Amino acid sequence: MFRLTDFNYHNRTVFLRVDLNSPVRNGRITDDARFRAVLPTLEYLLEHGARVVVGTHQGRPYGGDYNTTEEHARILSNLLGTEVEYVEDIFGRYARERIRLLKPGEVLMLENLRFSAEEVEYRSLEECEGTFFVRKLAPLIDYVVNDSFATSHRSQPSLVGFARLKPMIMGLLMEREINALTHAYDASEKPRVYVLGGSKVRDSLRVAENVLKNDRADLILTGGLVGQVFTLAKGFNLGDTNLEFLEKRGLLESVDRAERILDEFYPYVRTPVDFAIDYKGKRVEVDLLSDEKWLFDDHPILDIGSRTVEKYGEILRKAGVIVANGPMGVFEMREFAAGTVGVFRGIGESRAFSVVGGGHSVASIRENSITGIDHVSTGGGAMLSFFAGEKLPVLEALRISYERFKDKVEP
């Protein structure tokens, strides 16, 4: 794949695809972490005389929570110390005219790419190449730099559509992500421990199957809804309230799959030994082997318990490699953040090479000033797809573009 240093960008127009999709409260962005993550790539391009067109999105596909990128342009301007022009257009006449007028060292930001219906649907590379977005912008662009690892598991026009038309290059963030995740996946240091939590149960099950079957993991620790599904698969009763919640989320159907994983790899998948609930306004921990399990009938599980944190901590301290994705519980509630914070602190204190990803995981790490983690990934779903052994469309597009344009390198 092409690296950023493989080309000369002076007086060339670069389409820089990034993921600045950020938390929003009351219509305002509350966290600039993703902006800071792509700054090195953007600064490199501007320092080398590129004319930069930034494309990003805000809001999930079909989520109905879209916002314009006007504030994104303002935040990026403040971080860069130079103006980032907000263009209220994506590939129409106005956007194309503003791109043509760019000068070396200048940057503009297109409107939220997901305002275009073409950008919401998943398409093949060939279909993406034929979209209006790609056909209208390709004649104006010399290079495409992709620094959007967090969306690398999606196949959409702005992410893969230019691959056979223009040299498509890894940004510095993309390169760092790929190197860190590949190092963890291919690592020989043992024991290799995967911590799977959060609510993406089906994705986590695919990761568990892949890393265990292909001898990429020695032990898996579970928490969050993933931990509850595996606990049910072991035959424990988690009470009416929790069963109803899992059923509403469509997760009970995953119990059979978790049971099959346990049948094949039972000693290597660990589940919580205790859980925390809210009982009369207080955190109460219930051991799975105690007589207090009746509390699960009326009280939802909100965290793993302290005995589980202690047991997991002992394992993490001895690990050689750690891959973690997802919180251990409802960490947004202070009383029920103990499991997530305890596990992530254990990862930070470990001697292991560690990779942690997922939006909630990153938020917890930042909010609690947890240090010592080697790589904090900007991608949750993309990271899970990577460790599930699946082909990521953006990485495939980068490889295709390299094969097509490798004779064009001009460092």
Secondary structure element (H or E) that encloses residue 286, with its range = strand 282-287
In the predicted structure, residue 165 carries a pLDDT above the cut 80: yes
Report how far residue 159's alpha carbon sits from residue 406's, in angstroms, rounded to the nearest whole number: 19
Mean pLDDT throughout 297-310? Answer: 97
In the predicted structure, residue 245 carries a pLDDT above the cut 80: yes
Mean pLDDT throughout 229-258? Answer: 96
Among the listed residues 24, 26, 32, the one whose alpha carbon sits nearest the alpha carbon of residue 76: 32
CA atoms within 13 A on the CB side of 158: 29
Q: Give pLDDT tens digits for 117-150.
A: 999 889 999 999 999 999 999 999 999 999 999 9
The phi, psi pair for 324, rounded to 5°, reads: -135, 140
Structural domain spans, the chain: 4-177+391-408, 190-351
Percent of the chain scored above 70 by pLDDT? 99
Secondary structure element (H or E) that encloses residue 303, with its range = strand 301-304
All residues at 6 or more sequence positions from 42 whose CB lies less than 8 Å from its CB, including other chains: 16, 18, 52, 54, 76, 80, 107
In the predicted structure, residue 61 carries a pLDDT above the cut 70: no
Q: Which CATH architecture has domain 190-351?
A: 3-Layer(aba) Sandwich (3.40)
Positive or negative CA dihedral for 278, 282, 286, 290? negative
Q: Which CATH class is domain 4-177+391-408?
A: alpha beta
190-351 has the same fold as 4-177+391-408: yes
CA atoms within 13 A on the CB side of 115: 14
Q: Which residue has the higher pLDDT, 164 or 361?
A: 164
Contact between 177 and 386 under an 8 Å Cβ cutoff? The reply is: no
Q: Can you say whether residue 95 is alpha, beta or left, with left for phi > 0 and alpha for psi between -120 and 50 degrees? A: alpha
Mean pLDDT throughout 157-171? Answer: 98
Report how far residue 131's alpha carbon sits from residue 128's, in angstroms, rounded to the nearest whole number: 5
Q: What is the pLDDT of residue 360?
A: 79
In the predicted structure, residue 395 carries a pLDDT above the cut 80: yes
